[in-house]
Amino acid sequence: MMASSYNAKEEDGNHPGAANHAGAGIVKSKKPDNTAFKQQRLPAWQPILTAGTVLPAFFVIGLIFIPIGIGLYVTSNNIKEFEIDYTGANIEDPCYNCAKNFSWNSTAQCFCTVPFTLVQPFESNVFMYYGLSNFYQNHRRYVKSRDDSQLNGDRSALMSPSKECEPYRTSEGTPIAPCGAIANSLFNDTLQLYHIDSNGTFNEIPLVKKGIAWWTDKHVKFRNPGGNNNLTVAFQGTSKPVNWREPVFKLDPEDPENNGFINEDFIVWMRTAALPTFRKLYRIIQKKSSSTPTLPSGKYVLNITYNYPVLSFDGRKRMILSTISWMGGKNPFLGIAYITVGSICFFLGVVLLIIHHKYDTRNNSADIPN
Amino acid sequence: MDFTQLRNIISRYCVGEEIWVDSRTVYIGHKEPPPGAEAYIPQRYPDNRIVSSKYTFWNFIPKNLFEQFRRIANFYFLVIFLVQLIIDTPTSPVTSGLPLFFVITVTAIKQGYEDWLRHKADCSINKCPVDVVQQGKVVRTQSHKLRVGDIVVVREDETFPCDLILLSSSRYDGTCYVTTASLDGESSHKTYYAVQDTLAFRTEQEVDTLHATIECEQPQPDLYKFVGRINIYKDKEEPVARPLGAENLLLRGATLKNTQHIYAVAVYTGMETKMALNYQSKSQKRSAVEKSMNAFLIVYLFILISKAVINTVLKYAFQWSPDRDEPWYNHRTEIERQRHVVIRAFTDFLAFMVLFNYIIPVSMYVTVEMQKFLGSYFITWDEEMFDEELGEGAQVNTSDLNEELGQVEYVFTDKTGTLTENNMEFIECCVDGNVYIPHAICNGQILSAASSIDMIDSSPGGYRREHEDLFFRALCLCHTVQVKEEETVESIKRGIHQGRPTSFYISSSPDEVALVEGMKRLGYTYLRLKDNYMEILNKDDEIERFELLHVLNFDSVRRRMSVIVKSSSGEYLLFCKGADSSIFPRVVSGKVEQVKARVELNAVEGLRTLCVAYRRLSESDYQEACLHLNEAKLALQDREQRLAQAYDIIERDFVLLGATAVEDRLQEKAADTIESLHKAGMKVWVLTGDKMETAAATCYASKLFRRTTQILELTKKRTEEQSLHDVLFELNRTVLRQRSISGLSVDCLDFGLIIDGATLSAVLKANQEGAGCGNYREIFLDICRNCSAVLCCRMAPLQKAQIVKLIKASKEHPITLAVGDGANDVSMILEAHVGIGIMGKEGRQAARNSDYAIPKFKHLKKMLLVHGHFYYIRIAELVQYFFYKNVCFIFPQFLYQFFCGFSQQPLYDTAYLTLYNISFTSLPILLYSLVEQHVTMDTLKRDPSLYRDIAKNSLLRWPVFLYWTCLGLFDAVIFFFGAYFLFDNTTFTSNGQLMTTNTQMMFGNWTFGTLVFTVLVFTVTLKLALDTHHWTWINHFVIWGSLLFYVIFSLLWGGIIWPFLNYQRMYYVFMQMLSSGPAWLSIILLITVSLLPDVIKKVLCRALCPTAIERAQSSRPCLTVEPSTIFMLSQSSSRMSF
């Protein structure tokens, strides 16, 4: 055996070109490399999930999650929130008439007033939201019905909006700016808040309308065509969305910097909500002094310019006042979920401890004779 | 078929008997035959261009695309893509177009590259210089210009450019030596012969004067068959016709050796050469994993369709009131409104299909293919499967079956060359019952007391003397061994010092070499074959010469070979040697009883026995034999059959001379391997053509049968006594009884079955005749099922395949593996689910036809127990994980439809939809499926029973699949509703909102989707991390790297206004989300919750009912290595027969 293999090797040396004729070289050494990778022997960490190794993890998760959950829950509970429905679906509601008599054609605006009482004072900054229910902002036809290039100030897109905007693309031959269903259905109720002090006088609460949209949206994603000077000229040749009362460059009569596509109410509306029941930031009530609460407890009145019909699709409109904390708005879910998961982990840890004691020892003792 | 037959008949009537449509006439040197002989029909043959490439530059794109889209999965995605293009769909065509394009491109590039390599190889082969004789001169041309009929000059060590008929050689006897190493791997030299009438041509001029035609069959892929005839025209005489056979045909790819040059004429060129015909790929085998993958796919397709149907129905229920359908803020376009409701519903259905189509992952197929292709390299790279002696490691001929190696239930193995080394050693011979043992070997061979021990020196009486002389001469003459006297020979079978020059015996059969060498040790040396005379140096140092008249070649059906020689005294002798079963029936006299006893005794000891007989032929007998043989040899059609008939007539009325015994040693670690396979739960069957006793002895030695094994015999001997019916039923009863009695100790008593070829065919035939005589096949299978080992002896090659087929088709549909080394195993290798070839001494045919080739039988152990096991768990995880991650991916999207008015609004952004399967989650699983080792290789090798854990496709069974799917659904529900409760404020409690601390801004639907998607990517990747048991640095790199890639991509994707997009919905969404505290907290919470059930399930399963693998994993550190003792024990026992 040895001799023959030795001979064979000698042969290779004698006839180096012997196999070259065959087209494919056969004689070259086929011995595989002895590398760790090729031999599948790379050094490796080999963890296994046993009751013993998982146990500490469960306890640690439990011990971390439960305090976090409690913290979240307490924070969420400290947040004050007030919500009022002003749809006017029922006959006793103050806005019933406005809701009932709504028509797209009427030029006269309908006003209604909803009184309410805050039991507790709202410290720190208060955020004012409007909420809509049963409004499918996430409907596919609705979500895509916009033209981001137009909103970004692109002149050609302004004059010929994207086809996605159909059927809100043109109005009597002229392009709509901003086009699309989302823009067309811009929420246009006006809300005003009055505090009734002990004398019975109505004090209008100043509502800040700046800083409610994402900074990047306002400054990068949304731009007016041709800069912010002379929007009337910039939007010449376009028509307003059919359901709007005013063209886009007259959205905010008070602040010329807040008009056109960079109107913050408009930007907020253009960020389509994830679910059919949603709320959107409307105004911020800033804290004036550290001594007095932003909204002291007492009677308030909400003045509504009722422009937005929701009853036709069985929707609801709400006004929400809320303070916020480090973790955002009121959301007990996260805290409760953390506490629950933490407790489950802790409980499982205990169960596993028992199992570990009972079975692993038995297994180990059974293994040893093998 | 019928048509060609009809054409055949018609053409025979038209042209005459002699010309067949399926034969060709080659005009040597393109010379027309003399007028009147035959009509000169110039035929057109392809030139000698070899085209192994599949595509040309022009047809690459259409042809490759067509072939790719024939695959059902690719076609499915193409349809989805087209639907997206045609109708208004929720997701852009890019989402499915891009992955499809990616997949198609990657495949096309791979195939194109392979084809380009083939083109290059073809080109270099086609440009090879070739010498051709034209008008008496040698002209050098390029290989591809060669045409049929050209006379070619080939020099030593050159490769034949096409299939050639040898005309003459530089050797005076008209022979040449050829090695077919590159063709079938046999490195031994084979002798080819020139036709007698042409072997005298020495120069180009002489060759050019040859005027002849060759008639031969049309090209056939069988390398070892050729039928033809050469008609030589000499000066207006009747043409001389000579038969041509495979021994005249030099095959393309073979190399000329030890011959200075030859002249030969091209008969088959280019793509018609036998080598090219053998390029054709074999039928595709599909693995069990692939089958279950397809089953899962159908389930998911069903889920997909039902999801789409449910959503379509619900959509129309939801839209019943017009205010829901078209509220004032969201009108349809006029065109849409006018569309018929049925068309609208159908479009909606298609849109839902498109939305959910990702549940069937396009990338799964690519990943599976890449895993198989790349993974198979580990087999070829394996150093442990490299054989120093052979200089070769394992070969992978198909990577489709890697995982099937982990599923084998039945192993069918050949004996000779597979279990044993096929390294023969002459042990003894017996003449009329007297035993002769060569001096050289006295290794304590114990002979039974009954037989007389006569050494060669003792001089027996006259009659015995005569038989003895005849016996030794028979063995010296009756073979096809060649003698190599040169100092340097390409391949050495065995070196013997014979005084002055070193000479070697070379033969394709190692038995023959062993016999001739054995004779040499007993004093009779075969010297050489010269000018048809065989020279023998007898023990008195005299040279005896015998004229070799005919060789009746060995074949596996006859199981014998003969020579007809003429002694110097003018006597005609026919010597025959062969298996006892084929000799004894033809014997008329001689000491049959004694020889038979000795043969049986030797067989029991595991020796290979051959019987030798002779027959004296009278002049007339010889003439008659010649007539038969020549007639058969000249026949163009059915030559094989005619020859067999002729042999049958000639080989009869023998006088028995004696028998020989040759030992074939077991391969190293054969017993250890078989034992491991047994422990791994595989049933090992030995299928051999050998006799029962020999085979049984080998089985005992290789531990296939143990001392405790109860042997059941189903042999001809028994069925002669009882009817087959009774035997079968009796055996069945024994087995069943044993099973019912030994309920507790099943392992203690195992059965071994021995069946022979005759009985097997009886069992199978009985079934064919009808169910009337009992369903033997079922009973037989029932018996086999209860036997741990089965030995089938006296098997014809086809019967081996039949057995495999029988087991394959039995009702459990077990996975079968066939391993063999010789040409007789090819049918079985092709039939079995996995065919393994051993690169043995009997050539490379088995290795070429196999799916995997290994150098030695012992490598089977690592192949199955380690590689097979790894590949199986890798691919099983791959498949399950792929379905899991796509359920996680798509189910939230399904749930979202309930909250967006069934409007097909996608939850995720287009980029996420597209890249999820391509880049965010593809690499970790691919890498896992390449390098995962759930237990170490050593553990797998040490403990073969771990193989049982994955038997029967256990990781891909429906309960496991259901578990993964449920896990996916659970995770999807957690992702979706987790995010939902964070966003929604009415369902859970009265109030709640998600805001960020720094901006206090609201989040929209894209943030919602991104939150879900982030949790999804992290969960799915971490789930894989939990399943990974083997963390190399690559795993760390890929898993953490792909998560990092997701984050970086998302930051980038939302970081700028992309100018080429017509929407900017993702702008700053990801960053806004990350700047919010609750989002971080909820991401962590949701990931934890999603992973929790799987962790608990794993831990509980491991603690309460651990599988063998899990036990091995946990006991990993405390085990010490001790296999060396076991291994030594098995080594020593394999040497002993009993």
Provide the pLDDT confidence category of residue B442 given band limits of 50, 70 and 90.
very low
- Residues A170-179 have pLDDT tens digits of 988 899 989 9
**Nearest C-alpha neighbor of B312 from the set B287, B339, B340, B345:** B345
**Residue (of B853, B786, B798, B867) closest to B820 by Cα position:** B853
pLDDT, mean of residues B409-437: 83
Residues B821, B824, B826, B829: what is their CA dihedral angle, to the nearest 10 degrees? -70
Phi then psi dihedrals of residue B266, to 5 deg: -75, 130
pLDDT of residue A367: 43
pLDDT value at position B657? 87
**For range B142-157, the mean pLDDT:** 87
pLDDT of residue B424: 78
A247: left (phi over 0), alpha (psi -120 to 50) or beta: beta
Q: How confident is the model at residue B920 (pLDDT cuts 50, 70, 90)?
A: very high
Do A334 and B905 lie within an 8 Å CB cutoff? no
Instruction: List, in sequence order, every residue forming a beta bridge with B816; answer none if it has no partner.
Output: B410
Looking at residue A357, what is its pLDDT?
84
Find the CB nearest A272 among B332, B1005, B1114.
Answer: B1005
Q: Do A363 and B1033 touch (CB under 8 A)?
A: no
Computed on alpha carbons and rounded to an integer, the radius of gyration of chain A in Å comes to: 35
Q: Which of B164, B124, B158, B159 is nearest to B144 (CA)?
A: B124
> Each residue of B1052-1077: pLDDT tens digit?
999 888 888 878 888 888 988 888 77
- Cα nearest neighbour of B1030 on chain A: A46
Nearest to B903 among A141, A213, A337 (CB): A141
Q: How far apart are CA A279 and CA A319, in angstroms?
A: 9
The answer to whether B1111 contacts A363, with C-beta atoms less than 8 Å apart, is yes
State which amino acid sits at residue B556: S
Q: Which residues of A touch B984 (CB under 8 A)?
A: 275, 277
- Output the pLDDT for position B990: 26
Residue written as token pair 């807040």: A258
Beta bridge partners of B639: none
Across the range B835-855, mean pLDDT stands at 81
Contact at CB, B1067 and A216, closer than 8 angstroms: yes
B169-183 residue pLDDT tens = 887 777 788 877 666
Which alpha helices (H) appear in B788-868, and where do they start and end? 797-809, 826-831, 845-849, 859-861
What b/e string do you get for B100-138 counting C-beta neighbours within 10 Å, with b at 16 or more? Answer: bebbbeebbeebbeebeebbeebeebbebebbbbeeeee
> Per-residue confidence at A58, pLDDT binned at 50, 70, 90?
very high
Is the link from the previous residue into A178 a cis peptide, with omega within 30 of 0? yes
Token pair for B379: 């087999």
Cα–chain center distance at B434: 46
How much is the pLDDT for B186? 56
In the predicted model, is pLDDT for residue B152 greater than 80?
yes
Q: How many helices (H) and strands (E) does chain B have?
A: 39, 35
Spell out which residues of chain A touch residue B900, defining contact as CB-CB under 8 Å: 136, 138-140, 276
Task: Determine the residue of chain B that is closest to A54 in CA distance.
Answer: B1099
Confidence at residue B150, expressed as pLDDT on a 0 to 100 scale: 87
Confidence of residue B1014 (pLDDT cuts 50, 70, 90): very high
Task: Give contacts of B159 with chain A, Cβ < 8 Å.
Answer: 21-23
d(CA A347, CA B317): 44
Tell me if B1021 sits within 8 A of B1040, measured CB to CB. Answer: no
User: How many whole angstroms separate alpha carbon B614 and alpha carbon B468?
Assistant: 12
Q: Which phi and psi (to 5°) does residue B242 adopt? A: -125, 145
Contact between B545 and B530 under an 8 Å Cβ cutoff? The reply is no
Average pLDDT, chain B: 80
State yes or no: is B414 an active-site residue: yes
Which residue among B378, B996, B1103 places its CB closest to the CB of A355?
B1103
Which two structure tokens, joined as six digits, stand for A368? 């040893």
Q: Which helix (H) or strand (E) holds A13?
A: helix A2-14
B contact residues 821-860, partner A, Cβ 8 Å cutoff: none
Summarised one tens digit per residue, pLDDT across range B1081-1123 is: 889 999 999 999 999 999 888 888 888 888 888 775 543 333 3
In this predicted structure, the answer to whether residue B490 has a pLDDT above a threshold of 50 is no
Q: Please name which of B464, B438, B463, B435 lies closest in space to residue B523, comparing C-alpha atoms.
A: B438
> Using a CB-CB distance cutoff of 8 angstroms, which residues of chain A are in contact with residue B1072?
214, 216
In angstroms, the CA B1134 to CA B415 distance is 14
User: Do the Cβ atoms of B949 and B1107 come closer than 8 Å?
Assistant: yes
Q: Which of B115, B414, B672, B971 is catalytic?
A: B414
Which residues, listed in sequence order, are joined to residue A290 by a DSSP beta bridge?
A: none
| Higher local confidence (pLDDT), B1023 or A51 | B1023
Do residues B490 and B179 make contact, with C-beta atoms less than 8 angstroms apart?
yes
Is B1081 touching A (CB cutoff 8 A)?
yes
- In B, residues 1031-1060, which contact A (CB 8 Å cutoff)? 1031-1035, 1057
**pLDDT band at residue A19 under the 50/70/90 scheme:** very low
A167 upstream amide cis, omega within 30 of 0: yes
Length of chain B: 1138
The pLDDT assigned to B1116 comes to 54
Cα-based torsion angle of the residue sequence B1127, B1132, B1135, B1138 in order, rounded to the nearest 10 degrees:
-100
Question: What is the percentage of chain A residues whose pLDDT exceeds 70?
Answer: 89
CB A177 within 8 Å of CB A217? no
Say yes or no to pLDDT of B184 above 90. no
| pLDDT, mean of residues B265-292 | 76
Q: Quick one: pLDDT band at residue B1040, thresholds 50, 70, 90?
A: very high
Average the pLDDT over A301-319 and give the result: 92
* B129 in Cβ contact with B141 (< 8 Å): yes
Residue B223 per-residue DSSP state: T
Instruction: Name which residue leads in pLDDT, B125 or B455.
Output: B125
Which residue among A42, A54, A83 places its CB closest to the CB of B1095?
A: A54
Is there a contact between B138 and B218 (Cβ–Cβ < 8 Å)?
Answer: no
The band of A230, judged by pLDDT with boundaries at 50, 70 and 90, is confident
ipTM: 0.91
SS3 call for A87: coil
Residue B945 touches chain A, beta carbons under 8 Å: no
Whether pLDDT at A64 is above 90:
yes
pLDDT at B199 over 70: yes
CA angle B961, B964, B967 (to 5 degrees): 150
Task: Please provide the DSSP assignment of A248-315 as one string.
Answer: GGGS-SS-GGG-GGG-HHHHHHHS--SSSSEEEEEEEE----SSS-SB-SEEEEEEEEE----GGGT-
Smallest CA–CA distance from A341 into chain B, residue: B1089
Contact at CB, B157 and A14, closer than 8 angstroms: no
Give tens-digit pLDDT for B727-738.
Answer: 777 877 877 776
Question: Which of A284-288, B500-504, B1087-1091 is the most confident on average?
Answer: B1087-1091
B495 has a pLDDT exceeding 50: no
Closest by CA position to B1011, among listed B1023, B994, B998, B999: B994
Q: What is the pLDDT of residues B580-603, one digit of tens each?
A: 888 888 888 888 888 888 888 887
Q: Where are the beta strands (DSSP E) in B185-315?
A: 189-193, 212-217, 228-232, 240-244, 249-250, 255-257, 261-268
Cβ under 8 Å to A: B residues 895-914: 899-901, 903-906
pLDDT band at A193; cut points 50, 70, 90? very high
H-state helical runs in B905-1057: 910-915, 922-931, 937-942, 958-983, 1005-1027, 1033-1055
Pairing of strands B834-838, B816-820: parallel
The residue count of chain A comes to 370
* Nearest neighbour of B905 by CB, restricted to A129, A143, A152: A143
Contact B976, B892 (CB under 8 A): yes
What's the average model confidence in pLDDT over B904-918?
90
Q: Is B1064 on the interface with A (CB under 8 A)?
A: yes
B1073 contact A CB<8A: no
Given this model, what pLDDT does residue B996 score? Answer: 38
Please check the confidence at residue B1050 and state whether its pLDDT lies above 50. yes
Instruction: State whether A24 and B1064 contact (CB < 8 Å).
Output: no
Backbone angles phi, psi at A116, to 5 degrees: -155, 170
Q: Give Dmax (Cα) for chain B.
A: 124
Burial B718-728 (b: 16+ CB within 10 A, else e): bbeeeebeebb
Q: Which residue of A has its CA nearest to B257?
A: A18
Closest by CA to B28, choosing from B235, B270, B214, is: B214
Alpha carbon separation from B513 to B247, B525, B688, B1012 (Å, rounded): 21, 12, 21, 75
Segment B907-936 shows an average pLDDT of: 91
In order, the DSSP letters of B250-283 are EPTT-EEES-SEEEEEEEE-GGGSHHHHTTSPPP
Structure tokens at B633: 């040899």
Question: Mutate which of A61, A313, A340 to disrupt the B interface (most B C-beta within 10 Å)?
Answer: A313
Which of A32, A243, A272 faces B382 most closely, judged by CB atoms? A32
Q: What is the DSSP letter of B387?
A: B
- Residue at B91: amino acid letter: T
Per-residue pLDDT band at B842 (split at 50, 70, 90): low
For helices B60-69 and B93-126, angle between their N-to-C axes, nearest 10 degrees: 120
Residue B556 has pLDDT above 80, yes or no: no
Written as six digits, the tokens of B79 are: 């349809």
Beta carbons of A367 and B1067 less than 8 Å apart? no
pLDDT at B766: 62
Binding site for Mg(2+): which residues of B? 414, 416, 821, 825
pLDDT value of residue B487: 44
Are B836 and B829 in contact by the 8 Å Cβ rule? The answer is yes
Contact B255, B181 (CB under 8 A): yes
Query: In the prediction, which pLDDT does B293 show?
Result: 87
Q: Which range, of B7-16, B249-258, B1071-1080, averages the lowest pLDDT? A: B7-16
* pLDDT band at residue B768 using 50, 70 and 90 as cut-offs: low
pLDDT of B880 above 90: yes
Is B538 an 8 Å CB contact of chain A? no
Residues of chain B numbered 79-98 and touching chain A (CB < 8 Å): 90
Measured CA distances, B447 to B434, B453, B456, B602, B890 (Å): 11, 8, 16, 10, 77
Given a contact cutoff of 8 angstroms between Cβ atoms, the answer to whether B996 and B1072 are in contact is yes
Residue B352: in which H helix or E strand, if any? helix B341-356
SS3 (DSSP) at B461: coil
Least-confidence region, from A247-256, B100-109, B935-944: B100-109
How confident is residue B444, by pLDDT bands cut at 50, 70 and 90? very low
Question: Residue B343 has which token pair?
Answer: 């068309």
